[in-house]
């Protein structure tokens, strides 16, 4: 059985968990509705969350004022995954709903493509279901009508794919020989040789460019002298390698570039990732004050106790901690909200004012602001989550800890998502709009929508402490945390460092209650230089990373 794909969109994953509690026939109709919806999704368009939920469930939820927008490119594979997962739970017969099942190998033959290409097309709109055959074996199939719909939508792509043939060794050797002859005769570049030969051999330009690059990288005598510009794929590989601690000097040797070129490539990729973030904030009157930065970013609420947050690794522990959580003063919450929005605004404006070739210092300043916003949001969610939990328990009429384990996890993650969205939309300048009430009201609407079709009559459960793991939902509160925050297991190794090094890492990433700091600020605080601190940071991160690997070996 293929490995179960993870959902990319948290809203679709939560919807899947909610649908699991619907009656059998209702789940089948919702699965069918999700399949029909895939026909209408354009990967280049965005779709409101309430539209997607309505198309699948027939119920239009009352969301916050600004609905969550789902990107079509991510939504389509998640809908395919939703249909597949629901079918897996439903134990469908092969002739479900009078349809004709086609196994994956036969689907490949029908489309005249490889089975690997079928797997790729399953992420692009080719719907598949699990069915149970008479021998009780569960198999993945594509129903014939789903295949026909996919063919109708992707006729030209399928025609190109069916004509595709792999380059044999003889043809590849001929291409390399022709490229050498062209270069010796005319002195053309690798890129131009690939373009000419692509036309001659009816192949993609990029395919031949990669063949020639691979040859020159492996051959003792390369054809082309120049390494050529770094591709978009090169930028991604370089950035990922740099993030896991590969030295710049090693990357320079690997890509046949100088160290400055590698640094520029890393910065270009950092810039690209930052530009993809859709930063939105609530504009507050205090932002226009002359000393707004000092007033909003130096208050106790935004620079202290940022590590006083709920645990997010185990469900029963977070429930227990919530019961002992003391709410913050309203002025402290307002300070956190103002700081959170002001930092997003500052990061966005700084980003819009730099060139497409930014330096490390400019990027570091923006990234540090975003790390700070993530800490503030985690603090806000932690202090407001008890109010959402109160609504949950009022709705289910029992303590949350007495629910079945899967429902506990689902409700906790749903509460965190609702509170997270409420933090985004809360405007403290509106009369009577306190964050705790705002979150509780949003949670009430979410629970009403959930229990519209869901039975709440499951028996109370007892759980041994520490057996319901959570997948660190606080690490997903902001989209940039996935690539900007250091790995959790690596930072846990800072305890093995010397005291001064441990404090340096804590100051850098805001690990002991204070905010994170960019290298420019740290250079002033520690009376050092940015290059020296940068080398120190890389060395310490490498040490922590190696200690993690040593434990795993």
Q: What does the pLDDT look like over 487-542, one tens digit per residue?
A: 888 998 999 999 999 999 999 999 989 999 999 999 999 999 998 999 899 899 98
The residue that leads in pLDDT, 333 or 433, is: 333
| Measured torsion, CA atoms of residues 194, 200, 205, 208, in degrees rounded to the nearest 10 | -60
The distance from CA 32 to its chain's CA centroid, rounded to whole angstroms, is 27
Instruction: Name every residue whose Cβ is closer than 8 Å to that of residue 109 and which is 6 or more positions away in sequence.
Output: none
pTM for this one? Answer: 0.63
Residue among 344, 317, 309 nearest 512 (CA) = 309
Domain ranges in the chain are: 10-163, 167-228, 229-276, 285-484, 486-553
What is the DSSP code (8-state) at residue 69?
A: E
Is the model's pLDDT at 16 over the cut of 80? yes
Mean pLDDT computed over 469-485: 91
Instruction: Name every residue whose Cβ is closer than 8 Å to that of residue 323 and which is 6 or more positions away in sequence.
Output: none
pLDDT-above-90 percentage for the chain? 43
What is the DSSP code (8-state) at residue 469?
A: B
Predicted pLDDT of residue 553: 58
Domains 229-276 and 486-553 share a fold: yes
Residue among 505, 495, 514, 506 nearest 541 (CA) = 505
CATH number for the region 486-553 comes to 1.10.10
Number of continuous H segments (helices) and E segments (strands) in the chain: 26, 5
Instruction: Name every residue whose Cβ is closer than 8 Å to that of residue 524 and which is 6 or more positions away in sequence.
Output: none
Predicted pLDDT of residue 1: 47
pLDDT tier, 65 (very low <50, low <70, confident <90, very high otherwise) = very low
Q: Give me the residues paired with residue 92 across strands.
A: 131
Query: What is the C-alpha to C-alpha distance for residues 474 and 137, in angstroms, rounded to an integer?
Result: 39
Domain 229-276 has CATH 1.10.10: yes
What is the DSSP code (8-state) at residue 96?
A: G
Predicted pLDDT of residue 3: 55
Relative orientation angle of helices 405-425 and 435-450, to the nearest 10 degrees: 130
Q: 139: part of which helix (H) or strand (E)?
A: strand 138-143
């Amino acid at each position: 059985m293929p490995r179960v794909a993870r959902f990319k969109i948290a809203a679709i994953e939560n919807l899947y968990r909610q649908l699991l509690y619907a009656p059998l026939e209702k789940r089948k109709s919702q699965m069918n509705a999700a399949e029909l919806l895939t026909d209408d999704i354009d990967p280049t368009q965005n779709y409101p969350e309430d539209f997607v939920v309505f198309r699948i469930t027939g119920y239009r939820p009352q969301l916050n004022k600004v609905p969550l927008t789902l990107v079509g490119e991510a939504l389509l594979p998640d809908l395919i995954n939703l249909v597949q997962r629901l079918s897996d739970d439903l134990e469908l017969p092969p002739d479900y709903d009078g349809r004709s099942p086609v196994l994956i190998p036969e689907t490949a033959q029908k489309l005249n493509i490889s089975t690997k290409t079928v797997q790729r097309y399953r992420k692009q709109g080719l719907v598949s279901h699990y069915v149970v055959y008479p021998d009780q074996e569960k198999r993945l199939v594509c129903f014939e009508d789903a295949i026909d719909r996919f063919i109708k939508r992707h006729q030209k792509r399928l025609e190109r794919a069916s004509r595709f043939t792999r380059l044999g060794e003889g043809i590849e050797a001929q291409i390399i020989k022709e490229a050498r002859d062209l270069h010796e005769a005319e002195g053309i570049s690798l890129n131009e040789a690939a373009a000419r030969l692509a036309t001659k051999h009816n192949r993609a330009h990029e395919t031949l460019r990669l063949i020639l690059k691979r040859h020159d990288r492996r051959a003792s005598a390369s054809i082309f002298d120049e390494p050529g510009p770094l591709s978009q794929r090169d930028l991604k590989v370089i950035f990922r390698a740099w993030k896991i601690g590969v030295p710049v000097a090693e990357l320079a040797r690997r890509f046949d570039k100088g160290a400055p070129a590698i640094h520029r490539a890393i910065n270009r990729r950092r810039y690209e990732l930052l530009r993809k973030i859709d930063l939105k904030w609530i504009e507050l009157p205090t932002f226009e004050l002359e000393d707004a930065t000092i007033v909003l970013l130096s208050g106790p609420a935004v620079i202290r106790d940022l590590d006083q947050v709920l645990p997010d690794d185990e469900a029963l522990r977070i429930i227990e901690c919530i019961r002992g959580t003391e709410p913050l003063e309203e002025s402290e919450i307002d300070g956190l909200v103002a700081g959170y929005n002001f930092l997003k605004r500052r990061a966005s404006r700084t980003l819009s004012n730099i060139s497409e070739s930014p330096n490390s210092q400019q990027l570091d300043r923006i990234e540090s602001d975003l790390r700070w916003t993530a800490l503030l949001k985690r603090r806000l969610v932690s202090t407001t989550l008890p109010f959402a939990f109160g609504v949950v328990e009022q709705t289910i009429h029992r303590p949350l800890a007495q629910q079945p384990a899967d429902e506990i996890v689902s409700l906790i993650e749903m509460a965190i998502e609702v509170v997270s969205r409420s933090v985004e939309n809360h405007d403290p300048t509106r009369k009577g709009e306190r964050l705790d009430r705002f979150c509780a009201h949003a949670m009430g609407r979410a629970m009403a929508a959930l229990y519209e079709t869901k039975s709440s009559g499951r028996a109370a459960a007892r759980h041994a402490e520490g057996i319901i793991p959570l997948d660190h939902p606080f690490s997903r509160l902001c989209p940039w945390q996935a690539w900007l925050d250091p790995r959790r297991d690596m930072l846990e190794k800072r305890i093995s460092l010397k005291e001064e090094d441990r404090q340096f890492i804590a100051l850098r990433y805001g690990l002991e209650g204070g905010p994170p700091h960019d290298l420019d600020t740290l250079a002033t605080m520690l009376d050092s230089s940015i290059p020296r601190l940068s080398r120190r940071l890389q060395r310490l991160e490498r040490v922590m990373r190696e200690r993690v690997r040593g434990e795993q070996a």
